[in-house]
Amino acid sequence: MALTNLAYRGYEVWVPDLPKAIQHQLYGFRNFKSSLAFGTVPKRWFAETWVPLKTLRIHPDGSRKGSRNAPVVLDFKNSVIKLYQVCMNERGYVVEVPMPKWVVDRISEGGDIKFARVGLKDNEPYLALAAERVVEPYQPSDYILAVDVNSWKYGIAWGLIRSGKLVTWRAEGPSTFLINTLYHQAVDRERVVGKLRRVSYGDSMKARRIREQAKSRWSRIYRITRDKAYFLASKLVRKAVKYKALLIIDDVTEESRKELLEEKLPPDVIKLLMSNLKRFVHQLEALAQWYGVPYRFRRLYSTVCPICGHELTQVEGRVMVCNNCGFRAPRDMVPMYWALR
């Protein structure tokens, strides 16, 4: 397993005694045996790794795709996934798991699952499936969907532009009120735990319970931003598909981080407000590829004048003003003017 992992990372790997039958069932296995320099002693590698395995797909109409004796069989006819010899190296040994609905959905959209990865997740055996689909991006219409990734405080700004005019514009994010409440609850609890520790009650039942409560609040905030990231990525890609729009993404979040710093927010709050933004961009890109949405990354500034390039000054109500040409717009709308250029 470890050697396959290394081979995938581009290292030359010599596999001394991997049976041919298993080599063939590893997805994309490359045998580097011949490239081993004479006299090199194979090293022992210890690694936790995910093993990519070949799959056989049996479609509802009975047609088959993939390797005939693959260890992972996706049977869409009987809605079941069969794992051969994966959990026990014994001929004919099979584990059956129900077919997840999302797999059926991806397949019905024309996707394919060429390989599966088997490994441990939270110390439990886990089968990870990845659907692939090759789609030619559509020819964009006269619509542009501009997405400016900010922070969760002011939300992710998006604008729908048609023939050089801004049709709709919004900034969306999770409830900052809820994040704020959870944050203060977590900080308060940590403070109590700190006090208990100072009087050497840090290991008491009470301290442990309060520490758990604080921890659950931190992870809840993280989950809120993660769910919002997935929700928004899906919403925006569907919008792009609907209008056959060209997707323009600005994923540089430095301006937003600077703004939060200027507001003198504590570093851990800033970290929370910036969490899962990379995940959002990654999901947006993955979905755009899946649905054939043409997209481009472009800088859409919010502190530079889109008319004359002069630096903008922020006035009351997060409104940006250009002292050179008189341009004026809400801060989150400025990037949309850059997309219009």
Residues 183-242 that bind Zn ion (CB under 5 A): none
**Radius of gyration of the chain measured on its C-alpha atoms:** 26
Q: At what angle do helices 176-198 and 205-243 cross, to 10 degrees?
A: 160
Residue 324 is a binding residue for Zn ion (CB under 5 A): yes
Q: Which residue, 146 or 322, has its beta carbon nearer to Zn ion?
A: 322
Between the alpha carbon of residue 301 and those of residues 79, 161, 251, 254, 338, the distances in Å are 49, 17, 11, 10, 7
- Report the C-alpha gap between 341 and 27 in whole angstroms: 46
Q: Residue 136 and residue 290: Cα distance in Å, rounded?
A: 10
Segment interacting with Zn ion (CB under 5 A) among 9-17, 180-188, 213-221, 318-326 = 318-326
Sole binder of Zn ion in the list 120, 128, 130, 325 (CB under 5 A):
325
Nearer CB in complex with Zn ion: 103/321: 321
Chosen residue from 191, 238, 310, 328 binding Zn ion by CB under 5 A:
310
Task: Give the pair of three-digit tokens for residue 160.
Answer: 């729908």
The residue (of 227 and 311) whose beta carbon lies closer to Zn ion is: 311
Decide whether 287 or 312 has the Cβ nearer to Zn ion: 312
Find the binding residues for Zn ion in span 278-307 (CB under 5 A): 305, 307
**Residue 90 identity:** E
CA distance 89 to 18: 14
| Contact call for residue 322 and Zn ion (CB under 5 A) | yes
Say if CB 160 and CB 243 are below 8 A apart.
yes
Measure the CA–CA gap between 103 and 112, rounded to whole angstroms. 9
Which of residues 23 and 324 has its CB atom nearest to Zn ion in the complex?
324
User: At its nearest, how many Å lie between Zn ion and the CB of residue 301?
Assistant: 12
Residue 311 binding Zn ion, by CB under 5 A: no
**Judged by CB, which is closer to Zn ion: 155, or 335?**
335
What residues does 84 pair with on adjacent strands? Answer: 94
Calculate the alpha carbon distances from 147 to 256, 270, 285, 305, 319 in Å.
14, 21, 12, 18, 19
H-only helix segments in 41-158: 101-108
For residue 325, the minimal CB distance to Zn ion (Å) is 3
Nearer to Zn ion, 128 or 325 (CB): 325
* Identified binder of Zn ion from the candidate list 88, 130, 167, 308, rule CB under 5 A: 308
Q: Which span sits near Zn ion by CB under 5 A: 35-43, 206-214, 315-323, 332-340?
A: 315-323
Which window, 101-109, 124-132, 285-293, 327-335, contacts Zn ion (CB under 5 A)?
Answer: 327-335
Does 97 engage in binding with Zn ion (CB under 5 A)? no
Residues at the contact surface with Zn ion, assessed by CB under 5 A? 305, 307-308, 310, 322, 324-325, 327
